[in-house]
Amino acid sequence: MDDNVVKRFENFIMPEPMSGCWLWNGALSGAGYGQMGVNGKIEYAHRISYIIHNGEIPSGMVVRHTCDNPACANPHHLIIGTMKDNCDDMFRRGRNRHVALKGEDNRAAILTESKVKRIMKMYGKGIMIVSIASKYGVTASAVSNVIRGISWNHVTGLKNRRLKNNRIYQNIQA
């Protein structure tokens, strides 16, 4: 990885103080994995992170999350595994059934349309993302996805915006 890639990677990182996850403040795949362009190709952020911090990924192996948060790129939450390990993880977590971040029709969702509207109001008043998350019993990642227009965008009308500040415990008005 050249310095330019490392710099761009670091620009997209948004450390989340409770979980220690490094949330990805850039493009996310449909399944919620961070993505970044490298040499004209779209690469997964967690794979880039692994390579930056640990070196090449052994051939035939995959990079897995120990934190069950696909948007996380913290190298301490990443381990090497086999494709079979990865499938086992997905089956165990049921992620294969609920990859979309649509709305109330997603059975895994705890948020509701009215909660989403209240979250936007709280964020507008300058309340920190982590405080909003603990009020609604969801992860900071879930709140950040709402505010960024990644989930619930049919309610908020927002689309894939980056948070201006990469610190999730601060609230810089967009």
The whole-angstrom separation of Cα 151 and Cα 138 is: 13
The whole-angstrom separation of Cα 78 and Cα 97 is: 23
Of 74-82, 102-110, 127-135, 154-162: span binding Zn ion (CB under 5 A): 74-82
Q: Which is nearer to Zn ion, 46 or 148 (CB)?
A: 46
- CB neighbours (10 Å) of residue 160? 11
User: In angstroms, what is the minimal distance from the CB of 40 to Zn ion?
Assistant: 28
Q: Which of 23, 51, 71, 72 binds Zn ion (CB under 5 A)?
A: 72
Q: State the pairing for strand pair 41-44/35-38.
A: antiparallel
User: In angstroms, what is the minimal distance from the CB of 117 to Zn ion?
Assistant: 28
Query: Do the beta carbons of residue 152 and residue 114 sit within 8 Å?
Result: no
Q: Which of 46, 47, 64, 77 binds Zn ion (CB under 5 A)?
A: 77
Number of residues lying near Zn ion (CB under 5 A): 6
The whole-angstrom separation of Cα 55 and Cα 143 is: 32
Note the residues at the interface with Zn ion (CB under 5 A): 21, 67, 69, 72, 74, 77
